């Protein structure tokens, strides 16, 4: 196994200054609270801080955020990773601690009374916080709509009781909120700004030191240790079987963080060494996707990234048996498709008669099925071409023909609230 170290360019870190009466918001130096619960929200928050600071150079930003937000001058009162939980069973185990954290955060925000509170994703935590603050007369925004198209559309009404405005990443979402009289704005997806409309495979391969003329499979079995525990071994087994069927195949595995990298290294320890061994990367998921002919990955935001990289993909996923049983018994899931490219294609009317992305979920997510679906894509160049063309159109849809970047548009929607819109509520 080769391990490539190609570098990527916490507990309480803030102060109590947000409780200083002199820090309370006014028109030119607003106190703005942001609450992010995981790495993707940290990136959204950092972009938002940059854009808001263009409008309000003297603004102060407080709440919960990660390293990217803190690098932009954000004061994080608590460790963001305390909110980074996944699945029913994991949340239930940590519920007492989450409730204590929520109460402590609410107390600080009610005392500081920021000009606006922006919950970034993490709906299970943030919507409850936003609702309490909205009832206390504070302006609230929820950035990243929960998947109302998948988990009971009627949730839109409940979300409106928490947020004065919902900022949506997908173009089909505001229409759902409009049915319930909720103010929702499509601001575009930030990832659509980070990928070129025409991808550069040759450049990505050169950067990763991969030959230009061999088949390449990018393997992304999950960005969390819990996902690797459920799916890591079977994804690696599927990739090994694909390599046995495709002579010369190179496998590239980007690790989302150091913990995932260490775990993947253990999972790969008994795999053959040599030139054709899997290439394990420190980060660089986008480059790995761009370099690939096909991507085999776990369901989630990474499917959107692979779509924007214009790479045909196979998606698999397993949740914990308890989470799966709860969702089935309560009939919570209201969609029969799961991968974001398939959902976007259906919403835009571009789906046609077939799924753009093969989906293998829960019991169907086996090494045998993942292998067969991946090999089918490698062996059908015409199908890959149709998929790439559809992905290019969906990329355009996510940009929405809007001016500026997603962070700028989100900042503009928040600024409208700061500057008086809905002030009479």
Mean pLDDT per 10-residue section of the chain, whose length is 425 residues: 45 38 55 91 94 95 95 94 58 73 94 96 91 96 86 81 95 92 93 90 96 96 90 95 95 94 92 78 96 95 95 91 63 71 86 83 94 98 94 89 83 90 44
Per the structure, the count of domains in the chain is 2
Do 271 and 381 share a domain, yes or no? yes
SS3 label, residue 413: helix
Q: Is residue 194 part of a domain?
A: no
Residue 195 belongs to a domain: no
pLDDT score at 151: 62
Phi-psi region of 273 (alpha: psi -120 to 50; beta: other; left: phi over 0): beta
Distance CA 142, CA 135 (A): 15
What CATH number should be reported for the domain holding residue 372?
3.40.50.2000
CB 183 within 8 A of CB 162: no
pLDDT, tens digit (0-9, with 9 covering 90-100), for 186-206? 999 989 988 998 899 999 999
- 4 lies in some domain: no
Query: What is the pTM for the complete model shown?
Result: 0.78
Q: Answer for the pair 25, 300: CB distance below 8 angstroms, yes or no.
A: no
**Domain residues for 407?**
10-188+401-418
Cβ within 8 Å of residue 280, ≥6 positions away: 1, 2, 3, 4, 253, 255, 261, 264, 265, 268
What pLDDT is recorded for position 328? 61
Q: Are 167 and 234 found together in one domain?
A: no
Quick check: is 107 in a domain?
yes
Radius of gyration of the chain (CA): 22
pLDDT of res. 353 = 63
Same domain assignment for residues 69 and 170: yes
Separation CA 151–CA 179 (nearest Å) = 16
3-class SS shares of the chain: helix, strand, coil, % to 5: 50, 15, 35
CA 157 to chain centre: 23
Going across the sheet that includes 216-220, the strands are 2-4, 279-282, 250-255, 216-220, 294-298, 313-317, 359-361
Clarify whether residues 261 and 392 are in a common domain. Answer: yes
Confidence at residue 22, expressed as pLDDT on a 0 to 100 scale: 39
**Is residue 37 situated within a structural domain?**
yes
Are 250 and 380 in a shared domain?
Answer: yes
Burial of 173 (0-12, 13-18, 19+ CB in 10 A): buried
Q: Which residue has the tokens 């790439």?
A: 388
Q: With the C-alpha atoms ordered 260, 261, 262, 266, is the resulting torsion angle positive or negative?
A: positive
Residue found by looking up tokens 């753009």 in the block: 356
**H-run or E-run covering 294:** strand 294-298
- Say if 98 falls within a structural domain: yes
Measured over all CA atoms, what is the biggest interatomic distance in the chain, rounded to whole angstroms? 68
Tokens of 96: 């007492």
Give the integer Cα–Cα distance in Å for 190 and 321. 33
Are 87 and 226 in contact by the 8 Å Cβ rule? The answer is: yes
Q: Where are the alpha helices (DSSP H) in 338-380?
A: 340-348, 367-378
């Amino acid at each position: 196994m080769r391990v490539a170290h190609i570098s990527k360019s916490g507990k309480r870190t803030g102060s109590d200054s947000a409780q200083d009466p002199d820090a309370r918001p006014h028109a030119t130096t607003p106190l703005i609270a942001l609450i992010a619960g995981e790495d993707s929200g940290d990136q959204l928050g950092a972009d938002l801080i940059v854009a808001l600071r263009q409008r309000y150079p003297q603004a102060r930003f407080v709440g919960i955020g990660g390293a990217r937000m803190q690098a932009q001058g954000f004061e994080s009162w608590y460790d963001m990773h305390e909110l980074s939980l996944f699945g029913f069973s994991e949340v239930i185990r940590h519920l007492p601690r989450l409730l204590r954290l929520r109460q402590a955060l609410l107390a600080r925000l009610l005392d500081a009374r920021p000009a606006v509170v922006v919950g970034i994703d993490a709906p299970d935590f943030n919507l409850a916080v936003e609702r309490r603050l909205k009832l206390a007369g504070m302006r609230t925004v929820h950035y990243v709509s929960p998947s109302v198209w998948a988990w009971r559309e009627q949730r839109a009404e409940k979300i409106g009781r928490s947020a004065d405005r919902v900022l949506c990443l997908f173009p089909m979402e505001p229409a759902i909120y409009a049915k319930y009289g909720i103010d929702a704005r499509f601001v575009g997806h930030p990832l659509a700004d980070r990928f070129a409309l025409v991808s550069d495979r040759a450049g990505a391969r050169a950067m990763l030191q991969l030959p230009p003329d061999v088949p390449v499979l990018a393997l992304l079995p999950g960005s969390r240790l819990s996902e690797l525990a459920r799916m890591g071994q079977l994804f690696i087994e599927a990739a090994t079987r694909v390599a046995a069927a495709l002579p010369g195949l190179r496998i590239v595995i980007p690790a989302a963080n150091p913990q995932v990298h260490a775990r993947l290294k253990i999972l790969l320890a008994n795999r053959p060494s040599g030139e054709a061994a899997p290439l394990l990367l420190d980060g660089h998921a986008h480059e790995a996707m761009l370099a690939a002919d096909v991507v085999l990955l776990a369901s989630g935001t990474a499917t959107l990234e692979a779509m924007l990289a214009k790479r045909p993909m196979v998606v698999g996923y397993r949740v914990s048996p308890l989470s799966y049983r709860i969702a089935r018994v309560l009939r919570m899931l209201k969609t029969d498709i799961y991968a974001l490219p398939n959902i976007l294609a259906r919403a835009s009317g571009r789906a046609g008669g077939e799924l753009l992305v093969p989906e293998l979920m829960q019991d169907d997510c086996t090494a045998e099925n993942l292998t067969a679906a991946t090999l089918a894509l490698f062996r059908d160049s015409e199908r890959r071409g149709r998929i790439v063309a559809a992905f290019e159109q969906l990329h355009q849809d996510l940009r929405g023909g809007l001016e500026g970047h997603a962070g700028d548009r989100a900042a503009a929607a928040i600024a409208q609230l700061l500057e008086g819109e809905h002030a009479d509520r």
